Amino acid sequence: MPVDPQLRSLSIDIPAQPESLVKLSLLLADEQVNLNAVSALIASDMALASAVLKAVNSSLYGLRGRVASVQQAITYLGTREVASVTFEMGLRAVFPHAPELEPMWERASVRGLLMGRIGQALGVDPWAAHSAGLFEECGKAVLFRHARDRYRKMLAEAVDDEELLMLEHAEFGVSHDALGAALCESWGLAPAAVASVRYHVIVNTTRELPMQLQRRSICVLSALAYALMTDPESLDEVAAAVAPQADLDVTLTQRGARRVQEQIEAAVARG
């Protein structure tokens, strides 16, 4: 999906993908993924490896024993989830640490995990789904880095993301959904993931998927994750509205999402 050419005329910088993630992307693109090479690459960056191990040892992943190495994490969780956590840590590292962004990163972790696992349950590309969930709000971090004081005020004032988009357009001439999509595209994410990031606010607000998209299933997963994270009682209603728009079976979609929700809740409860 092409990003709006208007973004090229703005003075807002899109951070480059860290070299370690570029190399990881190349390894993952190989049909026969070399697990040892993936493990060695992540482990070679001490700060990144430490952050990854801290994340996979959290209650969110529900591992029964403590993981002491990247290789062990891959053994327990699989290459995709460890790679997704690595991308999450790499994404966070290119932006300044700020208390205002912590809730966003926490949501990214949960949403990425939800979307990836629901995608796996429904036969929808789990890597693209997990990536889309991780990057969904990253445009906020781009704007925060660009104008910290002004954007901090916006984050405090906006009652929801729909209002935040209007404030962003008024102040910067662009909104975080478009910037997030631009970052996703520059980092080489799948077009379906880029589109999900670009349209997530309108999808979650209206439950309508953009007609111009050929692959809409990742957008469906975004809507399901949003429902689970904000109003779990609405999940069946949301699934009934969005699943048919991507030719997904409503009942199977509901069951898959509920099963993943139960798995993650059980993992956190074991905490």
In whole angstroms, give the CA distance from residue 188 to residue 204: 24
Give the pLDDT of residue 149.
94
Give the pLDDT of residue 165.
96
Question: What is the CB neighbour count within 10 angstroms for residue 69?
Answer: 13
pLDDT at 9 over 70: no
Tokens of 126: 């789990």
pLDDT tens for each residue of 140-154:
999 999 999 999 999
pLDDT at 217 over 90: yes
Between the alpha carbon of residue 174 and those of residues 5, 86, 138, the distances in Å are 12, 28, 14
Instruction: Indicate left, alpha or beta for 3 from its phi (over 0: left) and psi (-120 to 50: alpha).
Output: beta
What residues does CATH 1.10.3210.10 cover in the chain? 95-270
Task: State the pLDDT confidence band at 8, using cuts at 50, 70 and 90.
Answer: very low
Average pLDDT for 90-110? 93
Between the alpha carbon of residue 22 and those of residues 18, 30, 51, 101, 192, the distances in Å are 6, 13, 18, 24, 19
Give the pLDDT of residue 30.
83
On whether the CB atoms of residues 33 and 217 are closer than 8 A, the answer is: no
CB neighbours of 57 closer than 8 A, spacing ≥ 6?
63, 66, 67
pLDDT at 59 over 90: no
Tokens of 30: 């190989």
pLDDT at 230 over 60: yes
Average pLDDT for 10-21? 85
Instruction: Report percent pLDDT > 70 for the chain.
Output: 96
What amino acid occupies position 101? L
Mean pLDDT score across all residues of the chain: 91
Which CATH class for the 95-270 domain? mainly alpha
Give the pLDDT of residue 6.
52
Give the pLDDT of residue 254.
97
Between the alpha carbon of residue 153 and those of residues 92, 158, 178, 179, 222, the distances in Å are 21, 9, 20, 19, 27
pLDDT at 3 over 70: no
In whole angstroms, give the CA distance from residue 222 to residue 217: 9
Average pLDDT for 96-101? 92
In whole angstroms, give the CA distance from residue 93 to residue 18: 9
Average pLDDT for 30-35? 84
pLDDT at 7 over 80: no
